[in-house]
Amino acid sequence: MMGRGLLSTALGALAFATAAFAQPIEVATLSAPDFFSNGARDTGLGPDLWAGSSARTARTVIPMLAAKPLSPAAQALARRVLATGASGPEGAGQDPELAGARINALIAQGAVKDAGVVLSRTANLERSPVLAQAGAEAALLAGEDERACAIAEGLATGREEIYWLRLRAYCQLRNGQAGPAQLTFDLAQGQARDATYGRLMSAKLAGGGDPGAASARNGLDYALSRSLGLDVVAAKPSPAVAAALQSSEPGPATWTIEGSDPVRIAMAALAAGDLAAAQAQRGALTAEGVPANDLALLDALIAAASGKADGPTLDRLIERGTVSDAKTQGRMQNAAILLSALGGQMTPHARGEFAKFAAAEPGRATVAKGLALDLAGAAKLQGETALLALWMSADAGVAGPPVGDRARIIRALKAAGLEDDARAFAVEGLLAQR
């Protein structure tokens, strides 16, 4: 038998344990996943990228980036901020539709690999048709048809939407289910007839015949054309498919400059991202025989690309903006405005001449949008500054913002700490003045 002392000890321990278990237990509620926290790579931007940013601005701009063409500088900025892993703007990080728009924007700007990495780190794709469609398109563009079909198969809602019917027909045929594939194809065409998808899928179902030309409108057309052995390169691609056809992921902004004279050779090297070669070429030039405006512009480009918007270079540009002939005076003034936005110091005399300049293309952005950009930059709200700059860029198109808006963008990006992007916008604008 258990001794009286030992029994008392055991009962006491049991009573203590019972009392402990009887205490109320606090259950921590897990927060919803933040889709923006899933990054693709180290972009040089921190986890506080979106701190203080407007969710409304994010919902306005990010879908726009998947639909409108951008200049090289704006594309590079979009890829950088959208590939960053950082908690999203307050109230927007848990929005699966916005997360899907982010993926679509990355794909449209050529960052197909980045989009795939973000998606590989995103759980429960099947719960959101928008996010799932972005994932399926990224997989198809990457040649991962099996993964796209797995996403389609696991979709929880929206299965009868037209995109999923078309993809399901393709996937069923891939899996050897010709009968169900034909039925799904007929249902899709009955719901929303599409001539291009129809001819490609019909040839696939028939196992032969003339499918016509390849199509590169989207990931599904691309996958169908590829599976039929068609010349996808010959088709006019959408931005997303064009990115998929590239041999490598895009990096920092670059531009193409043609010309065989020494100044153009230096500019071409700089536009391709080779600052050292441009500096070496400039070192071999002398003022003799080289137009003064060309030298002044080349010096401005080198200063902008190197992040050294020095005063003497800016002063020379301002001088050229006052003494050049009427045909080139405006370009020199525009160049001076763009370089000054990077923070170059002027002499008092140069400031007096600069204040008279009127050549800059007027900005297209509303006063309110421009002020919002200024305020975001001054407050060092990097994410919001980037989005407002991209909004103005998307409105401008592939040529990029006019000088008036561009100078404001450069200044705001620099103030917010996005100096690499500010330099890219400056170089792009200066190249346009050549």
d(CA 318, CA 321): 5
Question: Mind listing the pLDDT tens digit of every residue in the chain (434 residues)?
Answer: 444 444 344 434 444 444 444 455 444 444 567 999 999 999 999 999 999 999 999 999 999 999 999 999 999 999 999 999 999 999 899 999 999 999 999 999 989 889 999 999 998 888 889 899 999 999 999 899 999 999 999 998 899 999 999 999 999 999 999 999 999 999 999 999 999 999 999 999 999 899 999 999 999 999 999 999 999 989 998 878 887 777 677 889 999 998 889 999 999 999 999 999 999 999 998 877 789 999 999 999 999 999 887 889 999 999 999 998 888 999 999 999 999 999 988 999 999 999 999 877 888 999 999 999 999 999 999 999 999 999 999 999 999 999 999 999 999 999 999 999 999 999 999 999 98
CA distances for 69 relative to 16, 222, 393, 400, 418, angstroms:
69, 20, 9, 9, 22
d(CA 346, CA 283): 24
CA–centroid distance for 239 within its chain: 12
Task: Quickly list DSSP for 10-78.
Answer: HHHHHHHHHHHHHS----PPPPPP-GGG--SS--S--TTTTTT--HHHHHHHHHHHTTS---HHHHHHH
What does pTM read for this prediction?
A: 0.87
Residues near 60 by Cβ (< 8 Å), separated by ≥ 6? 391
Domain locations in the chain as residue ranges? 53-245, 262-354
Q: Are 398 and 276 in contact (CB under 8 A)?
A: no
DSSP assignment letter at 359: -
